[in-house]
Amino acid sequence: MKKTKTNRWRNCRGFTVLEVLIAALITGILAVASFRFYTSMHQQTETQIEVSDVQHLCRSSVHEIKKTLRLAGFKLDPAVHAPYEVKGDSLAIYYSGTQPVDTVLYYLEEFAEWEYWRVPDLRGEVTLYRLMRKQNSLPGEACADFIRDVDFQLVDSLDSRTMSITVTAQVTKRDDSYAENKGYRVWSLDEQVTLRNVNL
- Amino acid identity for residue 116 in this structure: Y
> Which one, of 184, 170, 185, 177, lies nearest residue 44 by Cα?
177
Output the pLDDT for position 13: 67
Distance CA 8, CA 148 (A): 77
Helix (H, G, I), strand (E, B) or coil at 154: strand
77-84: which pairs have CB atoms within 8 A and are 24 or more residues apart?
Answer: 78/198, 78/199, 83/195, 83/197, 83/198, 84/163, 84/195, 84/198
Output the pLDDT for position 10: 59
Output the pLDDT for position 4: 56
- Mean pLDDT in runs of 10 for the chain (200 residues)? 56 78 93 88 85 93 94 89 93 93 96 87 86 96 94 88 94 86 91 86
- Helix, strand, coil abundance in the chain, percent, nearest 5: 40, 30, 30
